[in-house]
Amino acid sequence: MMLAISLYGVLFLWVVYWFEVNFGYNFTKYGVYPRTLKGSKGILFSPFIHSGIKHLFNNSIPLFILLLSLFYFYRKIAVKILLFGGFLTGLLTWIIARDAYHIGASGIVYLLFSFVLFSGIIRKYNRLIAVSLIVIFLYGSMIWYILPIKDGISWEGHLSGFLVGMLFAFIYKKHGPKKIDYTWEDDNLENIPFIASQDEEE
């Protein structure tokens, strides 16, 4: 189920791009155009629109990994994170971004990346942190793209997703997997059943 959702989610982006290219449409006008009424529809539609095959490919792999992680570790709240987080990411981009069309699923990628990373840190849950580190390893430069270091990239969309993901990690800190405490991590040896039984016999 989790694999199917992640796979179909990414596949849908490719179908949209294929449709746009093969039927001669230009969906850029459905992206976020900040602080305008016509550009507000991009809050909902911009994640599905990409400027080219490279743009789409660069988003596809991290999106697949992070969607899979989200639905694996946070099955009960995954849809909330994706829908409300995606909406807030688009809204914040609409508020703060430059006057240009902002498109692509990278805002969602940064949303999920930030949520998984900070959720792992808050819970001290190594598996979640490991997922984020894998994404960093594969796309090591991505963290810098929340800053205005390169023209033609919507760093505002990246920053918006990153901030919303961090916020949601704190809001939902009581949801999801818990840190596993192992017996050998306990400083109080009396809490270890074997040690306690030996003390009683002496």
Residue 163: inside a domain = yes
pTM: 0.85
- For 122-165, the pLDDT digits (tens) are 888 788 778 777 777 776 677 788 999 888 899 999 999 999 99
Cα gap 83→108, rounded to integer Å? 10
Residue 188: inside a domain = no
Number of domains in the chain: 1
The pLDDT value given to residue 137: 77
Helix (H, G, I), strand (E, B) or coil at 152: coil
Structural domain boundaries, residue 126: 2-177
Residue 48: inside a domain = yes
Task: Mark out the alpha helices in 36-100 (DSSP H runs).
Answer: 42-45, 53-73, 78-96
Helix (H, G, I), strand (E, B) or coil at 89: helix
Residue ranges, the chain, pLDDT below 70: 139-140, 178-202
Helix (H, G, I), strand (E, B) or coil at 128: helix
Residue 202: inside a domain = no
Residue position matching structure tokens 């270091």:
149
The pLDDT value given to residue 128: 77
CATH number, domain containing residue 167: 1.20.1540.10
